[in-house]
Structure 1
Amino acid sequence: MIAYLKNKFQMDIWRRNKTFFLLILIYFAGLIAYFNSFSGEFVFDDINTIVNSRAVKSNLSLSSLWEINHSRFIPLLTFVFNYRLNQLNPENYHFINFLIHIVNSFLVFFLFNTILKISPPGPDTSKKSSLLPFITAVIFTVHPLQTSAVSYISQRATLIVSFFYLMTLLFYLLSKSGKLKISIIFYFLSLAITIPALISKENGYSLPLIILVTDYFFFFRQNLKNKIRFLKPLPFFILAGTVFYFIYLQRAGAPFEVTTGLSMTGGDRIITRQEYLFTQIKVIPFYIYLLLLPLNLNVDYDFPISKTFFSPDVIIPFIFSLAIFVISAPILYKKRRPAIWGLIFFFITLSVESSIIPIKDVIFEHRLYLPSAGFISAVVFIASAVVIQMIKKNKKTGNLINLTVISIITLYIVLTVNRNKVWQSEYSLWSDTVKKSPKKARVRYNLGVASYAIGKTEEAKAEFGQAINLDPHYSDAYRNLGFIFERENNFNKAYSLYNDALSINFYNTKSRAQLAAFYINQKKYNEGILQYLKILEYDPKNAAVYNDLGIIYLIQNRQEETINSFKKAIKLDPKNEIALKNLVNSLWHFGFDDEARKYYLKLIKLNPENSQAYQFMFNP
């Protein structure tokens, strides 16, 4: 009797706190998978997005930050917050990414738990069971593909847009299934949360479409009773259109701005919309393969561009995928509606980056972060139906199924931990990538940069050489190789490589500035000045060039040109702390003490922590 009461008491505790316990399990599964990511360095785009970003490191106003990056404003704010707290300590940036990922996993659980409750019951599903949403959320948490968004710090934009995206959907579902007063609150919350989604990353613009599909899938009959309910998705389209207009069209900016964290001067070419679409027809099946079998993950795939729809590698996967969808969709809609909704969620959330909007890189693993939630849920819901039929035939298979699920989750955790080791440093990342994309020039170039940074000079020279062999028009590889030879005092070779880089791209500012610096180091100041002036002919608003010119003029003791150059740099870039310091020093050097003090006050206002500025003010 006592044993019975004890067991009943424990079951009551489980029932009352089941959701809490499941969330704890999700959290610890994620912590085990990502504990070794916290020690990782800044890599790849992190260098430009965070380490070298003046927007992150300067004390700028919200309006200034908005002007710098309005399409990904929320992620930029979080980086500024990170920097204010911990400067450039990557461990804390990793931890914030991890926390956002865990919250997203919780949202995946709540979202699909809600979908299961509101969807028509399938022949083998229980609305009360949280098991399927729990398995979906755990796999989403520990799947190795997610490392490209979680361990890759600068992909926080992907994490944040997913957070707002999932929360908007969840609140919208709750607005359709509660009491009137609560429904109104959830509806307006979902509308409000759409705005930060739209200014976190471009994927947010697919939200209105998935809301429309969700409304049709789960509330069509309910809407028939009051047809005004069919209009509920409409404000989301209006809101998205309004934000799009003010951010892109009114500013005459490029919608869905194509960006890359690396200099790709050599080897780049414009991809047409048709080519990009045809290539995505191949990319999407490959994405599905990676979701099912996440082996040999790669940060920079060497994926061929498709120029025609009628090539076998495009048309065959297209026909095969279309046939499977046409055959399975009606069946799944009737009997497994959450599964078909998950597949549609996968394609819609992937549509911004895998359709007709051309992006330089046709494939990236982090693009699967949000879509994976839908795909994983679809697989889990479909597999559950098969499993239930197997258990009905033979109850002993239940233990085998449980062991299989636990084994898959354990395997994914192990793969994620190992993948995090690759993301630990620039060198480990690009060393791994070279093994998988050995014939891609950019990969060789990046390994060269990473090798030189840790003192592996000969390896760097070899990798830059390989990049040039693979792409003879890769001007940045010539420039970096020239820089190494210059450091080794092989000046003839360095000079030749700098000129090779400029012969490929006359307007490459980095290469021309490097040649100018080469002349300065040789004390050929006038030749260096000529190179900087050539840059200003095609890039007249380059504040960094004016700053460098000011330094050369100061070396030559040319008072007027020195001061004018630094002032021009500051006029073009008022937040340029280096140019401000140089201007103050030069004014002090030439005896303009009062004017020097005036600019020092500007320097202090820009950066109050400038100890040199304080020392000058208090010890004139």
Structure 2
Amino acid sequence: MLTFATQALYTGSDPWPLKFINVLIHMVNGVLIYILSSQVICFVFKQRSTKRDWLISPELLAVLVTAAWLFSPMQLTAVLYVIQRMESLSALFVLGGLLCYWEGRMRLIGGKGFAWPLIWTGLVAGTLLATFSKETGVMLPLYAFLLEWVVLRGRGVGGFEPKLIFLFIVTLVLPGAAGLLLTVPSALNGNAYAGRPFDLAQRLWTEGRVLVDYLHWLIAPTPNALSLYHDDILVSTGWFSPWTTAASWVLIALLLGLAVRLRKRAQLFALGVLWFFCGQALVSTYLPLELVYEHRNYLPSWGIYIALLGLASAWQPAVAERSKVLRTLVLSGIISMISLFALFTAIRSQIWGNPYRLAYFEATTHPESPRANYDLARNMLIMSPDAKSAIFHMGMTQMAKTSRLPGASLQAEQAMIFMAAKNNLKVESMWWIDMRRKINFQPMSAEDVSALYALINCSNNNVCKYTKQDRMQLGNTLLFAMERYPKDAAVVTLYANYAANVVHNIPLAYSLMQRALAIMPSNFNYWNNLVTMQVALGEFKNAQVGIERMRELNGKGIYDSAIRIAEESLVNKKSAS
């Protein structure tokens, strides 16, 4: 956020400078990846029992691994999707911390000074900075442990360093145990999955297939397979539903077992495989996150390329003449693969260069993706000059198609209602019926809540010209949602907003605000809403109590302005009365 704030100060919200800085961060990460690759590969080569040359020299292999990582089409969303600067910036600090750790370990092995300060700084400072960019930064100590376990093996001046055990207990074991204690209970009791169309078991089953898809897209990507949206993925409901669920987990188990077994004989392969799967341990296991995102592979993907290219270059035939031929073939294959990566990345970046072109490509390559189809319809409606234009009708038709897709949120119906009401067109009653049907049969997601809020806000801002029937339909839909989710404070607040601002039923709105606070008493915004209404109703004592509670919830001062406004409003209202 600090980098975004700095850019906003000088370049505003122009997307080109934002993306340009992201590309620069990616290039810096490429330099760090090369340094790490070179250090690890050269260290492994020097420790080999036999000194026969590899098919590809360690220095060249590090360049090829870096090129594969830099040009991989899978990296594009972490770079050109501006908000995912959090991913690339976190990776920058992880890589910086690991290189600091590695330098400290080299000093420790060589008997040089200042080793332990570098080791501790790399793990502690690197982890903090990386985590302040994105939560995945907490994986830095695990990556360091993999380097230690597979490559360095605890070496010190006189052999194994016992201090390393204490180091990883402090930086990895204890924080990891604390994280599990904090996050596992909510995942097991099902509350965390209330807003997801899958449960914990289904997520774990599905993630096996997702991880295999990641491997496929990293090694042999195709432009049509890669996408910003993967919400059309089929959720696994059992080991054999579909059958690829069990097959995927068997493949993952085999790869992990092979990596552990070959830890001493094929270190680069073992390190790479373990690096990839450990890098996915936070985002592809029990946490109730979305099922698929390509940017989750930004740093873990290095493991796949060092494993694949390291395995291809380490083998050496007995006959020297065959070695030259094999070296040429292997090198040509690797260069061809990297060239294809660069070509696919260039094609993807060209598609991303225009919002409509991107939306059209995503919707045509992922026709069952509600988000991709919604984005296309939204772009059509934005581009339309008026409601009589052909592209407006195309957009409404596309939006209607989106609303019928399996798993689609309320956004499509909300958009059709919004555009019709804004342009004095008839709001179809079927759109409201479809919204209530989805509320009844699908979990209420954050997107659904936002869609309903947009319909209320549209009326409050006099953008939507609702008829009396439209306002009644909106109220019935919100009431249905509240009856379906009576313990969801956000849904209750929606109906309170409607009661206060659309139909002006102040007593109902007041009681609903109190109800939302009873469900979630630590929400600052709910208290702010209640105090605003209490001031308007002349309940000054209650409002003062509410303001005191707002102060208690203002832990870091981020709500200072809201509290000041509430206090001024209370004083002015008292004076006026």
TM-score normalised by length of structure 1:
0.67
Tell me by how many angstroms 1:182 deviates. 2.8
**Mean CA deviation greater in 172-181 or 385-394:** 385-394
SS in 2 for 1:334: coil
Residues 1:169 and 2:110 are matched in the alignment? no
Tell me by how many angstroms 1:155 deviates. 0.9
Tell me by how many angstroms 1:186 deviates. 1.4
Q: Which residue of 2 aligns with 1:353?
A: 283
CA distance 1:373–1:481, change in 2 (3 Å): same
The match for 2:209 among 282, 285, 289 is: 282
The match for 2:113 among 181, 188, 194 is: 181
Tell me by how many angstroms 1:106 deviates. 1.0
The match for 2:291 among 362, 379, 393 is: 362
Contact kept? 2:150, 2:270, Cα under 8 Å: no
Q: Please list, as runs of the form range in 1=range in 2, the aligned pairs for 1:47-62 lying within 5 A after superposition.
A: none
Structure 2 CA distance, aligned partners of 1:419 and 1:137? 20
Q: Please list, as runs of the form range in 1=range in 2, the aligned pairs for 1:250-261 lying within 5 A after superposition.
A: none
The match for 1:111 among 16, 20, 36 is: 36
Residues 1:292 and 2:219 are matched in the alignment? yes
Tell me by how many angstroms 1:463 deviates. 1.7
Q: Which residue of 1 aligns with 2:400?
A: 465
Structure 1 residues 274-322: Cα deviation after superposition (integer angstroms, max 9, x where no partner): 1111111111111111111110212222211112124421222322443
Structure 2 CA distance, aligned partners of 1:299 and 1:273? 24
Tell me by how many angstroms 1:324 deviates. 4.8
CA distance 1:185–1:117, change in 2 (3 Å): farther
Q: Which residue of 1 aligns with 2:244?
A: 313
The match for 2:139 among 206, 226, 237 is: 206
Structure 2 CA distance, aligned partners of 1:140 and 1:107? 11
The match for 1:85 among 10, 13, 17 is: 10
Tell me by how many angstroms 1:467 deviates. 1.8
Tell me by how many angstroms 1:422 deviates. 2.2
Residues 1:478 and 2:413 are matched in the alignment? yes
Q: Please list, as runs of the form range in 1=range in 2, the aligned pairs for 1:505-544 lying within 5 A after superposition.
A: 505=439, 508=449, 510-511=451-452, 514=455, 517-518=458-459, 521=465
Structure 1 CA distance, aligned partners of 2:125 and 2:358? 39
Q: Which residue of 2 aligns with 1:497?
A: 431
Residues 1:338 and 2:268 are matched in the alignment? yes
Residues 1:271 and 2:205 are matched in the alignment? no
Tell me by how many angstroms 1:202 deviates. 2.4
Q: Please list, as runs of the form range in 1=range in 2, the aligned pairs for 1:370-449 lying within 5 A after superposition.
A: 370-386=299-315, 392-393=321-322, 395-396=324-325, 398-449=327-378
Structure 1 CA distance, aligned partners of 2:8 and 2:500? 28
Structure 1 residues 391-432: Cα deviation after superposition (integer angstroms, max 9, x where no partner): 741535555554444333222212111101222244222211
Contact kept? 1:174, 1:186, Cα under 8 Å: yes
**Mean CA deviation greater in 387-396 or 362-371:** 387-396
Consecutive unaligned residues in structure 1, runs of 5 or more: 1-75, 260-264, 554-559, 597-620
Contact kept? 2:276, 2:300, Cα under 8 Å: yes
Structure 2 CA distance, aligned partners of 1:140 and 1:253? 36
Tell me by how many angstroms 1:385 deviates. 2.1
Contact kept? 1:94, 1:153, Cα under 8 Å: yes
Structure 2 CA distance, aligned partners of 1:195 and 1:472? 38
Structure 1 CA distance, aligned partners of 2:307 and 2:450? 50
Structure 2 CA distance, aligned partners of 1:327 and 1:291? 20
Structure 2 CA distance, aligned partners of 1:110 and 1:444? 42
SS in 1 for 2:228: coil
Contact kept? 2:208, 2:252, Cα under 8 Å: no
Structure 2 CA distance, aligned partners of 1:426 and 1:329? 45
Tell me by how many angstroms 1:234 deviates. 2.3
Tell me by how many angstroms 1:166 deviates. 1.6
SS in 1 for 2:287: coil
Q: Which residue of 1 aligns with 2:381?
A: 452
Tell me by how many angstroms 1:518 deviates. 4.9
CA distance 1:357–1:81, change in 2 (3 Å): same
Structure 1 CA distance, aligned partners of 2:410 and 2:259? 50
Structure 1 residues 231-282: Cα deviation after superposition (integer angstroms, max 9, x where no partner): 2322212674599599x78xx9999xx99xxxxx9xx744222111111111
Tell me by how many angstroms 1:551 deviates. 14
Tell me by how many angstroms 1:103 deviates. 1.2
Structure 1 CA distance, aligned partners of 2:268 and 2:244? 31
TM-score normalised by length of structure 2:
0.72
**Mean CA deviation greater in 289-298 or 423-432:** 423-432
Consecutive unaligned residues in structure 2, runs of 5 or more: 385-390, 506-531, 551-557
The match for 1:232 among 167, 181, 190 is: 167
Q: Please list, as runs of the form range in 1=range in 2, the aligned pairs for 1:10-89 lying within 5 A after superposition.
A: 76-89=1-14
Contact kept? 2:410, 2:438, Cα under 8 Å: yes
Structure 1 CA distance, aligned partners of 2:466 and 2:237? 49
Backbone CA RMSD of aligned residues: 4.6
Contact kept? 2:207, 2:284, Cα under 8 Å: yes
Structure 1 CA distance, aligned partners of 2:208 and 2:409? 29
SS in 2 for 1:407: helix
Structure 1 CA distance, aligned partners of 2:152 and 2:178? 27
